[in-house]
Amino acid sequence: MTKNMSFEKSRQIQERFHTVIPGGGHTYAKGDDQFPESMPPYITHGKGCHVWDLDGNEFIEYGSGLRSVTLGHVYMPVVDAAYKQMLRGSNFVRPSPIELDCAETFLGLIEGAEMVKFGKNGSDATSAAVKISRAYTGRDLIAICAEHPFFSVDDWFIATTAMSAGIPSAIKNLTVQFHYNDIQSVRNLFQQYPGQIACLMMEAEKDKPPVENFLHETQKLCQENGAVFIMDEMITGFRWHNGGAQRYFQIVPDLSTFGKGIANGFSVSALAGKKEIMKIGGFGHDKERVFLMSLTHGAEGHCLAAAIATMNTYKDEPVIETMWSRGERLAAGVRKSIEEYNLHGYVEVIGRPCALVYATRDEKKEPSQPFRTLFLQEIMKRGILAPSFIVNYAHSEKDIDRTIEAVSESLIVYRKALDEGIGKYLVGRPVKPVFRKFA
């Protein structure tokens, strides 16, 4: 059932956003071009998995905070911990004991990691991993997985995307790519650039699981060729397992990077790994020193307090199990509707239950931004804000069932649009990919 929604107040401030902020927002993935043109909700507050916008519209939200809010909005044990620490001060001229507490808590969860350094966002951690790998190996090239869409805002990665304006070609030439689940493509890189690759970075898993022992075979090639093996756990960390996807797949990388779910939306990221490598970012070694994540706000006390409280919740409560269970319920319900409306091959739910995304395709079963827009438009009409189907600990079975109902109704419209033409149902322009060369 569609809701009677107005976006009048949101539209009134939309132009002001674009007047003072390039792109109208501080994160491209949250931009106007990622949502239906006629539905630009500016969110004022949230609770659990529900959010409210400036016009008072209520939504069940998925992918909260770009997957960073894993326990739910305003999760009080985390909020209380951050508040109490703020009353003691947030940033001093010397380290605070809470930095040690947070480091020991983190290392107690991530087996195989011997040292950790905290940052504020994922790019801090991944770029630091690249830098320390180059220093450790004395090499320049970085190998990344071509199928994994985002590693950093910094030049070494953005140079490989369609939004490479402003980055010298010399920087782009320092990053090379391999393909997921294609061990020969990894082998080919090492053969093409012998003794030149400093590190290889990948997620453990995106929307397809590793096959034929791909993760371990890739690690073996790194070891044989003297490259640092880095696992990016921004998404998989604190979703696949309390110890990350590396624990789930029983593999210990040389370095790993975490963020997003580590502090339930507070700004904390982490670079962790073997002491042999990490220590060159500090003292007590005979190599040149590495300027490794030295950030003014890198260890704000209230954020670290939030991280400790979040990690303790993971240890004390069935967070991971609940996210997997809710995701399984959601996927089953949506797939049932897909079959009911003969949409197999047009709409698909993919990924692990704890991190579900969906695919939208057109009449030729080709990936389609217009049909993605239509789907977003219809589920938003029914009170679901879901650029993905990524659940958090706050999603109840009632929330999931309400979502399944809304999706089912939306897929009726999707089916009609396939049969009668999307122009009859889509309002406004289609959404666009984040990485594109021109506006």
- 118: nearest Cα among 241, 278, 246: 278
Residue keyed to tokens 């910094």: 154
**Kind of pairing between the strands at 43-47 and 50-53:** antiparallel
pLDDT at 2: 81
The mean of the pLDDT values for the chain is 96
Q: Give the pLDDT confidence of 204-247 residue by residue, as tens digits.
A: 999 999 999 999 999 999 999 999 999 999 999 999 999 999 99
Q: Kindly tell me if the per-residue pLDDT of 123 is higher than 90.
A: yes
Q: Kindly tell me if the per-residue pLDDT of 435 is higher than 90.
A: no
Return d(Cα 363, Cα 418) in angstroms, integer.
Answer: 6
Residue keyed to tokens 């003072």: 20
Q: Kindly tell me if the per-residue pLDDT of 1 is higher than 90.
A: no
Burial of 99 (0-12, 13-18, 19+ CB in 10 A): middle
Which of 342-357 are b and which e, b meaning 16 or more Cβ less than 10 Å from the residue's Cβ? ebeebbbbebbbbbbb
Q: Kindly tell me if the per-residue pLDDT of 298 is higher than 80.
A: yes
Residue keyed to tokens 């569609």: 2
Q: Kindly tell me if the per-residue pLDDT of 289 is higher than 90.
A: no
Confidence of residue 6 (pLDDT cuts 50, 70, 90): very high
- Name residue 200's beta-bridge partners: 143, 229
Confidence of residue 328 (pLDDT cuts 50, 70, 90): very high
Which CATH number applies to 76-316: 3.40.630.30, 3.40.50.970, 3.40.50.720, 3.40.640.10? 3.40.640.10
**Kind of pairing between the strands at 228-232 and 255-258:** parallel
Confidence of residue 126 (pLDDT cuts 50, 70, 90): very high
Confidence of residue 284 (pLDDT cuts 50, 70, 90): confident
pLDDT at 437: 84
Strands (E), 74-185: 115-119, 141-145, 175-178
Q: Give the pLDDT confidence of 401-417 residue by residue, as tens digits.
A: 999 999 999 999 999 99
Task: Give the architecture (CATH level 2) of 8-61+318-424.
Answer: Alpha-Beta Complex (3.90)
Q: Give the pLDDT confidence of 345-403 residue by residue, as tens digits.
A: 999 999 999 999 999 999 999 999 999 999 999 999 999 999 999 999 999 999 999 99
Of 99-103, 168-172, 188-192, least confident by mean pLDDT is 168-172
Return d(Cα 313, Cα 389) in angstroms, integer.
Answer: 23
Which of 291-309 are b and which e, b meaning 16 or more Cβ less than 10 Å from the residue's Cβ? ebbeeeebbbbbbbbbbbb
Of 3-12, 56-65, 180-189, 370-379, least confident by mean pLDDT is 3-12
Domain residue spans of the chain = 8-61+318-424, 76-316
